[in-house]
Structure 1
Amino acid sequence: MRTSRLTFLAATAATCTLLLGLTACGSDSPAAKGSAHGHAPTASPTMPNMSSASPMPSMDGMHDAPTGNGLSADRDGYRLTSPDTRLTQGAPAAYRFTVTAPDGRPLTAYALDQTRRMHVYAVRSDLTGFQHVHPAMAGDGTWTARLAPLASGTWRVFASFVPDAGPGKGTDFVLSRTVTVPGDAGAVPLPAPAASTTVDGYTVTVKGQVMAGMAHPLTVTVTRNGRPVTDLQPYLGTYAHLTAFRSGDLAFAHLHPTTAVHGDHGGPELTFHAELPASGDWRLFLQFRTGGTLHTAALTLRAG
């Protein structure tokens, strides 16, 4: 369900925080540090690496969280289509897709959402691979998402967008399709929940009380060598981008930031509007930038 930001701010003041168990597998490889377009996993199926709270900022192009879980290629007459059902293992890939509107024509008018007109997420079925990229659109409405080498296995590709024309204008959509990467694909168990994780020397800790289907505040604290980090740089119009996928079915949830942006000195605490649609174990991917480098931390959170 969709909760207005005013309702969320009122709920924030009344909600007590409870330290949740979160964990992640870390890596210091260059691939784990990502790029300006997202976190690029290695070809291995092993999990890659991944200021006080301010009033809700007025962020241009910031939309409410989408309804639904993103597990369908169709919603309200909009459809995600792609000729690509298989991608090559261990090599960069170009995933092509089109979004058709209810009138059957390719959608070409998109509104900005966190500074971009299209967000694409590629997630491996066991949550040991994650990429977040921003594709380019051709004049005919065909998008091309450039992906770093993918490990073998089944992946789900999500397209997150907001139409700027037609019956769905201003509505948040997340549609998805699966794609296969040939090769020997052994599943890796999801890491058990723990309190925090470390990526590229940064320690990320998450606090909050999350219940399925209810809006709650989630607080992320970033430290380095035991000291608060206060030099977070804006990324996609915020100080951190947080996306969650549920273990098992890969249901999608985008957790919107509520911390105002004031130059290149964000942190150490960041707040998010957390609304997970279903109970279970969720893998959170937190992306934040320091010194021009994008870092991705992966954490497991359990929603009751």
Structure 2
Amino acid sequence: MTRTTTTTRRALLTAAAAAALALTLAACGSDPMPGMDHGAAPSATTADHDMPGMSHGPDGMAGMPGMDHGANGLAAEQGGYRLEGSLAGTEYRFTVTGPDGKVLTEYQPEQTKEMHFYAIRSDLSGFQHLHPTRSADGTWTAPLAALPPGEWRMYASFIPGAGSGKGTGLVLSRTATVAGQAEPVPLPAAATGATVDGYTVTVAGAPKAGAAGELTVTVAKDGRPVTDLEPYLETYAHLTAFHAGDQAFAHLHPEGAAATGAGGGPTLAFHAELPKPGDWRLFLQFRTGGTLHTAAITLNVAA
């Protein structure tokens, strides 16, 4: 073989090697790495959690199985417990399955109830707080008031009485769509008070996101302090909050139980721990004269 032929062959081999290397590098930039499947269709489980109109968390991710959203109520599964439900007319029927895959039939009461159920529309209007009934097979039925069209989120707040999470409070949720033309309700501006059924409710306190703090609520009527609040769920008031934008849930626990045979008010204290900054819609429920009142207030939480 001549020197010229050898040189030519080496040049051809070098060019071929360079072309192969270029193809390999291009493939690494577009194909998934080992163990990753970027092109796979979403699984049935993921699609089940990411339903049309579902509100996502701030990271843009839906409540996939096993995902921990910081216990903010936006996941349908946590700690092996899973919420399954559907809306039939104005009834929401649901079950909770435990880590063993079986429908949960054992619960521990929290504030006198085995299950606290909440419904709220994506614009934080239409708040409902119910205590559904459970059948022997573990199916819960929540009879809701009429639901205006739009995207709703349904929350189940409970303490399992069996399984690895026994005794641990959980909040799970799913979304539901009510057909029709939705008329959005603007979120009221942040304020320190609200009026409901002739009662004036004032909130004081400046909690910071992610930090434990205290909110005090004062109830008055016709300018006079109210001192005849009746026990409701073992306390003189019940307070829940929902975050504007993603509908994250928070239960603000009262400090102290209702006294036997004595009226409550005018000032009530709550332990407040709201996990993120921004506007939260607070719903305060209290009872007087056998009637339950619900006051709604927008609270802005600083970072």
Runs of 4+ in 1 over 6 A off after TM superposition: none
- 1:216-268 superposed Cα distances (whole Å, 9 cap, x missing partner): 01100000011000000000110000000000100000000003312341000
- Normalized against structure 1, the TM-score is what? 0.75
Correspondence 1:118-137 to 2 at 5 A = 118-137=115-134
Correspondence 1:41-80 to 2 at 5 A = 68-80=71-83
The one of 213, 230, 234 equivalent to 1:233 is 230
Q: Distance in 2 between matches of 1:164 and 1:246?
A: 29
Letter in 2 for 1:78: Y
Report % sequence identity: 65
Of structures 1 and 2, the one scoring higher in RCO (CA 8 A, sep 6+) is 1
Letter in 2 for 1:126: D
Q: How many residues align?
A: 233
2:134 paired with 1:167: no
Correspondence 1:97-112 to 2 at 5 A = 97-112=94-109
RMSD: 1.2
Which residue number corresponds to residue 200 of structure 2? 203
Q: Do the aligned residues in 2 keep the contact of 1:87 with 1:179 (CA within 8 Å)?
A: no
Shift in Å, 1:186: 2.0
Q: Do the aligned residues in 1 keep the contact of 2:97 with 2:104 (CA within 8 Å)?
A: yes
> Which is greater in Rg?
2
Q: Secondary structure at the match of 2:101?
A: coil
Correspondence 1:285-300 to 2 at 5 A = 285-300=283-298
Q: Distance in 1 between matches of 2:258 and 2:185?
A: 37
Q: Secondary structure at the match of 1:271?
A: strand
Q: Which runs of 5+ in 1 are unaligned?
A: 1-65
2:254 paired with 1:251: no
Shift in Å, 1:166: 1.3
- 1:125-184 superposed Cα distances (whole Å, 9 cap, x missing partner): 101110000011111111111111111111000000001111101100000000111111
Q: Do the aligned residues in 2 keep the contact of 1:67 with 1:173 (CA within 8 Å)?
A: no
The one of 153, 156, 163 equivalent to 1:156 is 153
Q: Which runs of 5+ in 2 are unaligned?
A: 1-68
- Normalized against structure 2, the TM-score is what? 0.75
Shift in Å, 1:189: 1.5
2:266 paired with 1:268: yes
Q: Distance in 2 between matches of 1:188 and 1:283?
A: 13
